């Protein structure tokens, strides 16, 4: 094996490489039935200070997650430009929207990757920068609102989104409106931005489309064992969206939150864990591969997810399907990469597949890192009752119902963001 490197992404796209030791093959990793302590290095050394965490353990965890699970994300592109499209009125004039076509190339003067189409929606009557939610969607930006000014995606969509043969149709405009509640978001004084995950990669396992082939070596047609999977590609796309958002004068760049549901909930946590510019993350019903433990078999297991969705991860992660105790981490340690930033893990009681109880245990195990920062981490030592938001920096919420995202969820998400971003002036849209 060759040594691998991880990269620090900066607003100016500078690259700071952290060399990493060679890691053992999966079969040579020690078995560990208990959850690994977050404040313990791979070699067993204890981490006792913020300096040791930030300079040693945090980079090590990023390396481990990329090596054995998600694959290595590329650095920021060498070239990136933003084509801002004309504005249009939304929500009866209470908001203004515009699209930003983000074009980028791996190398200066090199081939341009498929563009990312970012939809940005901002309150009309705010004269100050506003905090903003960045959301990743399954079905295309056109499904969030019915307005024809929003481009109909040309990329792959799930047929369950109202598509035909995985292509979007006009009849699907606005079909996800109640999932996102953008009118409520604007009314609460927040901005909103969104992109379609398939702008980066379709949710299929052949890696022939999207951004992946642009990073293959000459003659390569499929990912190597530690190359990035689809979740990492979607997270990398979120970083490119943030590249634009931090430049906009009406976006409060230090108050950008990211949210995703289900597989995009996994992505929301991964993206924020690897980009400190994201101030808050809400991985909603993220389950296995996101906020649920790998070392438990409640609901979806590592073996099941690797059989069903092997492309979400690198080609090394399936080697743990029947040997999860060799994983040198568990998902509480992905959560710790957020520290000391807030993260809200939200669930539904009927969504047993996502293991809501196990997700709360992951927060409990992440708490020592927040304690290291001497900030308010997990407020409830026992899982809170249905419908009550536990709003520490390690936040938790569970409601009645099933695997879905609703307007009621958004009221909770906004209440949580208000605590850390400050309550925003209402836009009085009613």
Task: Indicate the SS3 state at residue 58.
Answer: helix
Q: How far apart are CA 144 and CA 184, in angstroms?
A: 13
Helix/strand/coil (H/E/C) assignment for every residue in 261-324 = ECHHHHHHHHHHHCCCCCCEEEEECCCCCCCCCCCCCCCCCHHHHHHHCHHHCCCCHHHHCCCH
* Catalytic site positions: 262, 403
Q: Which residue has the tokens 């991985």?
A: 283
Backbone angles phi and psi of 348, in degrees to 5: -130, 145
Distance, in Å, from the CA atom of 104 to the CA atom of 91, rounded to the nearest integer, reads 32
Q: How far apart are the first and last CA of the chain?
A: 60
Alpha helices in 67-170 (DSSP H): none
DSSP code, position 393: S
Residue 119 backbone phi and psi in degrees, to 5? -95, 125
Q: How far is CA 187 from the centre of its chain?
A: 24
E runs forming strands in 221-271: 251-261
Rounded distance, CA 10 to CA 21, Å?
Answer: 24
- The phi and psi torsions of 69 (rounded to 5 degrees) equal -135, -65
In DSSP terms, 345 is beta-bridged to: 396
Contact, 199 vs 78, CB < 8 A?
no
């Amino acid at each position: 094996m060759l040594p691998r490197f991880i990269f620090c992404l900066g607003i100016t796209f500078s690259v700071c490489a952290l060399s990493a030791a060679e890691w053992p093959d999966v079969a040579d990793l020690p078995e560990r039935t208990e959850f690994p302590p977050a404040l313990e290095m791979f070699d067993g050394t204890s981490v006792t200070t913020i300096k040791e965490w930030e300079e040693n353990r945090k980079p090590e965890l990023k390396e481990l997650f990329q090596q054995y699970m998600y694959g290595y994300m590329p650095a920021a592109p060498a070239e990136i430009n933003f084509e801002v499209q004309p504005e249009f009125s939304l929500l009866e004039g209470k908001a203004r929207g515009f699209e930003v076509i983000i074009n980028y190339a791996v190398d200066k003067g090199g081939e341009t990757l498929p563009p990312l189409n970012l939809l940005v929606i901002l309150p009309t009557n705010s004269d100050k920068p506003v905090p903003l939610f960045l959301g990743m969607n399954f079905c295309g930006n056109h499904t969030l609102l019915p307005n024809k000014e929003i481009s109909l995606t040309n990329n792959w969509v799930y047929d369950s989104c109202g598509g035909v043969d995985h292509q979007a149709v006009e009849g699907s405009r606005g079909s996800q409106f109640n999932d996102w509640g953008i009118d409520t978001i604007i009314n609460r004084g927040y901005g909103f931005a969104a992109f379609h995950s398939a702008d980066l990669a379709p949710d299929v396992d052949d890696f022939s489309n999207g951004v992946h082939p642009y990073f293959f070596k000459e003659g390569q047609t499929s990912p190597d064992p530690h190359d990035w999977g689809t979740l990492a590609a979607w997270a990398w796309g979120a970083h490119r969206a943030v590249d634009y958002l931090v430049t906009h004068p009406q976006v409060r760049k230090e108050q950008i939150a990211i949210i995703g549901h289900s597989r995009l909930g996994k992505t929301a946590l991964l993206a924020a864990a690897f980009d400190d510019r994201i101030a808050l993350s809400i991985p909603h019903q993220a389950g296995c591969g996101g906020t649920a433990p790998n070392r438990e078999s409640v609901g979806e297991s590592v073996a099941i997810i690797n059989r069903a969705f092997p492309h979400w991860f690198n080609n090394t992660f399936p080697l743990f399907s029947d040997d999860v105790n060799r994983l040198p981490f568990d998902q509480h340690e992905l959560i710790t990469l957020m520290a000391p930033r807030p993260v809200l893990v939200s669930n539904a009681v009927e969504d047993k597949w996502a293991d809501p109880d196990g997700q709360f245990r992951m927060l409990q195990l992440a708490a020592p890192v927040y304690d290291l920062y001497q900030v308010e981490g997990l407020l409830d030592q026992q899982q809170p009752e249905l419908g009550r938001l536990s709003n520490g920096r390690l936040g938790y919420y569970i409601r009645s119902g099933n695997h879905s995202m609703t307007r009621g969820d958004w009221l909770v998400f906004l209440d949580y963001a208000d605590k850390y971003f400050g309550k925003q002036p209402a836009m009085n849209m009613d």
